[in-house]
Chain A
Amino acid sequence: MDLLGYVIIIVKVLVVFAVTLLTVLGMVYAERRVSAFMQGRLGPNRVGPKGLLQPIADGIKFLMKEDIIPASVDKPIFVLAPAILLIPALMTFAVIPFGSDITLFGRNIPLQVADVNVGILYVLALTSIGVYGIVLAGWSSNNKYSLLGGLRSSAQLISYELAMGLAVVSIILLSGSLKLDDIVADQQGHLFSWNLFKQPLAFIIFLIAVYAETNRLPFDLSEAEQELVGGYHTEYSSMKFAMFFMAEYANMITAAALTVTLFFGGWDVPMVNESSLGIWGALLSVLSFSLKMGFFLFLFIWVRWTFPRFRYDQLMKIGWKVMLPLALFNIFITAGYLTIKAVV
């Protein structure tokens, strides 16, 4: 690869990283504002126009706060845990294609940081690593509430990752590839070629599992504040707490992007052939991707302020007794359909 190639990659990495972090800031603002609106309040509206600078004020507050490390904690793990959670959360976006190919300086640039041929496995693997951050934070805090939060998180992961993986398997069966690029290409064309319409059951299972995966309500048992104070981050303060906070939102962004990629045709605009429109097509595809992602990010907040939290046993019951059999059934149907189609 020549010099220009490296430059392009670095630029893409920086842009994706910056946009992700900016979206995290936007989400912090949106969460407070949307929750306020849904409760008939106004929310933060004093810092900057319409309160838009509120997340920056929050960030400064976190930086200025005293960084407390309690005496009884397991210090190396305690310090490491927020990083273990945040880094995979920020890394996951690397394999997600966020636009159609763009042609600049006479070369074809895919709008995707890394086109890994096991893309979907990479995403699933990294999101699982993130849970180690939660478990280790809970363990090293030397606090019963933190430990319970970490335990719940790991149990939740086991019950939901399976159903989520199996829901994704049916998508992989359809597209015949683990590359996210191929999965998007497979959904090109008219609206009903989106996996949402081909695999509605898989979509519902995946969406529910994603909420459990990102520790969002109605599945935020690992930080259920009424029972566990703050859950796994009870003992954390200052920037370390902010890292947990950012990781949660970064995970939501990745989850929204993944949902769009797998079920909503990625950057696809129905009935439009993006590659024939040149650079405008690419911009259109990025816009379409952002809008779809924005909807799912809004849905995250919307759902949070609508539904109450599940009880622990209910969560397990849904994971093992409802979603897992349904996902297996869905794979069975999909595989059967594909086999019959191949034979006939």
Chain B
Amino acid sequence: MGIVTKSYEPTFWDKLYFPALIKGLVVTLRYFFKRKVTIQYPDEKYVPPDGYRGLHRLNKYSDGRIRCVACEMCSAACPADCIEIVPGPAPWEGGKERYPVKFEIDLLTCIFCGFCEMACPEEAIELTEIYDFSDYSRDDLLIDRDGLLEVYELTKNKNYYSRAKKNEGSETQ
């Protein structure tokens, strides 16, 4: 024989059920008038918080030179082994002597851990807030040096999504 312990004894008011039913109806009605959480994606875009690890970029100095010195610290740190770098002598006078001739990231292999960012002594490689960069083929998801520099131009003002949002708004109005 098991022992039945009752932690809760329903009162007469509980046994009527109707007060509880009405309480439930009030809850759903309150949600009916609440603000909706849906983000209508292609029209509105979610703005990720600071520190979000999305698509990579290669930073530049203000005079346009590439920060990267092709030291290959990032590709050494990369646990997924998705960065391929070919170094070469820098074409510009003064400053850094090395620069990457080829800097390719396989975005399908990348796990977006951010180790490359931490390993970089020149603050050249960084992860941006861009999350919607899907494509149709594997080849299209290999991003090269010029692609990474382009991403820098797109994201250097830190308003990639908020600006996109503003543009959408002005188009529809």
- Asked if B4 is an interface residue, CB under 8 A from chain A, the answer is no
A37–B28 CA distance with the chains assembled, in angstroms: 9
A28–B32 CA distance with the chains assembled, in angstroms: 17
Which residue of chain A lies nearest to B18 when distances are taken between CB atoms in the complex?
Answer: A204
Residues of A within 8 Å of B28, CB to CB, are 38, 302, 305-306
- Asked if B25 is an interface residue, CB under 8 A from chain A, the answer is yes
- Asked if A39 is an interface residue, CB under 8 A from chain B, the answer is yes
- Asked if A34 is an interface residue, CB under 8 A from chain B, the answer is yes
Residues of B within 8 Å of A38, CB to CB, are 28-29, 31-32
Asked if B25 contacts A40 (CB within 8 A), the reply is no
- Asked if B1 is an interface residue, CB under 8 A from chain A, the answer is no
Residues of A within 8 Å of B21, CB to CB, are 307
Nearest CB of chain A from residue B36's CB, rounded to whole Å: 5
Asked if B32 contacts A34 (CB within 8 A), the reply is yes
Asked if B36 contacts A37 (CB within 8 A), the reply is yes
Which of A37, A42, A204, A307 lies in contact with B31, CB distance below 8 A? Answer: A37
- Asked if A303 is an interface residue, CB under 8 A from chain B, the answer is yes
Residues of A within 8 Å of B37, CB to CB, are 40-41
Asked if A303 contacts B25 (CB within 8 A), the reply is yes
A41–B32 CA distance with the chains assembled, in angstroms: 9
Residues of A within 8 Å of B29, CB to CB, are 38, 302
A41–B31 CA distance with the chains assembled, in angstroms: 10
Which residue of chain B lies nearest to A303 when distances are taken between CB atoms in the complex?
Answer: B25
A287–B25 CA distance with the chains assembled, in angstroms: 26
A 296-336 to B, binary, CB cutoff 8 A, 1 in contact else 0? 00000011011100000000000000000000000000000
Nearest CB of chain B from residue A142's CB, rounded to whole Å: 39
Asked if B24 contacts A306 (CB within 8 A), the reply is yes
Which residue of chain A lies nearest to B38 when distances are taken between CB atoms in the complex?
Answer: A42
Asked if A306 contacts B25 (CB within 8 A), the reply is yes
Residues of A within 8 Å of B137, CB to CB, are none
Residues of A within 8 Å of B27, CB to CB, are 306
Nearest CB of chain B from residue A180's CB, rounded to whole Å: 28
Asked if B24 contacts A307 (CB within 8 A), the reply is yes
B 31-43 to A, binary, CB cutoff 8 A, 1 in contact else 0? 1101011101000
Residues of A within 8 Å of B18, CB to CB, are 204
Residues of A within 8 Å of B32, CB to CB, are 34, 37-38
- The 7 A-B residue pairs with the shortest CB-CB distance, nearest first, are A42-B38, A306-B28, A38-B28, A37-B32, A306-B24, A40-B37, A38-B31
> A38-B31, A302-B29 provided; 8 other pairs, C-beta below 8 A?
A38-B28, A39-B31, A40-B31, A40-B34, A40-B38, A42-B36, A204-B18, A305-B28
What is B's interface to A at a CB cutoff of 8 Å? 18, 21, 24-25, 27-29, 31-32, 34, 36-38, 40
A-B contact pairs, 14 of them (CB 8 A): A37-B32, A38-B28, A39-B31, A40-B31, A40-B37, A40-B38, A41-B37, A42-B38, A42-B40, A302-B25, A302-B29, A303-B25, A307-B21, A307-B24
